[in-house]
Amino acid sequence: MNPKVDWFFEKDTQWKQEFVQLRAFALDTQLDEELKWGHPCYCLNNKNVFLIHGFNDYCALLFHKGVLLKDPEKLLIQQTENVQAARQLRFTSLEEIIEKESVIKAYIIDAIEVEKSGKEVPMKKTSEYDMPEELINKLETDAAFRDAWEELTPGRKRGYILHFSGAKQSKTRESRIEKAFPAILEGKGWNER
* Poorest-pLDDT segment among 84-88, 91-95, 102-106, 177-181: 84-88
**Residue ranges making up the domain that contains 133:** 126-185
Residue 85 lies in a domain: yes
104 shares a domain with 11: yes
Residue 193 lies in a domain: no
Residue 36 lies in a domain: yes
99 shares a domain with 147: no
Question: How far, in Å, CA of 112 to CA of 110, rounded?
Answer: 5
101 shares a domain with 171: no
144 shares a domain with 111: no
The Cα-based distances of 62 to 11, 50, 141 in angstroms read 20, 5, 42
CATH number for the domain including 24?
3.30.1460
In this prediction the pTM is: 0.70
Chain centroid to Cα 31, Å, comes to 19
99 shares a domain with 132: no
Q: Are 176 and 135 in contact (CB under 8 A)?
A: no
The number of distinct structural domains making up the chain is 2
Q: 1-60 pLDDT, tens per residue?
A: 788 899 999 999 999 999 999 999 999 998 999 999 889 999 999 999 999 999 999 999
Q: 117-147 pLDDT, tens per residue?
A: 988 877 666 666 678 899 889 889 989 999 9
What 45-48 contacts at long range (C-beta under 8 Å, 24+ apart), as own/partner pairs, is 45/115, 47/115
Residue 105: pLDDT band (50, 70, 90) is: very high
102 shares a domain with 12: yes
The mean per-residue pLDDT over the stretch 80-99 comes to 88
Residue 136 lies in a domain: yes
63 shares a domain with 39: yes
131 shares a domain with 69: no
Helix (H, G, I), strand (E, B) or coil at 8: helix
Q: What is the pLDDT of residue 124?
A: 66
Q: 56-89 pLDDT, tens per residue?
A: 999 999 999 988 999 988 999 988 776 778 899 9
Domain limit, last residue, from 89, 117, 145: 117
Which 8-state DSSP code applies to residue 11? Answer: S
Q: What is the pLDDT of residue 193?
A: 62
Say yes or no to pLDDT of 96 above 90.
Answer: yes
153 shares a domain with 69: no
97 shares a domain with 15: yes
The mean per-residue pLDDT over the stretch 96-105 comes to 95
Closest CA to 62 of 89, 100, 35, 80: 89
Residue 192 lies in a domain: no
166 shares a domain with 109: no
Say yes or no to pLDDT of 98 above 90.
Answer: yes
Residue 190 lies in a domain: no
The Cα-based distances of 134 to 84, 88, 131, 167, 186 in angstroms read 25, 33, 8, 11, 21
105 shares a domain with 133: no
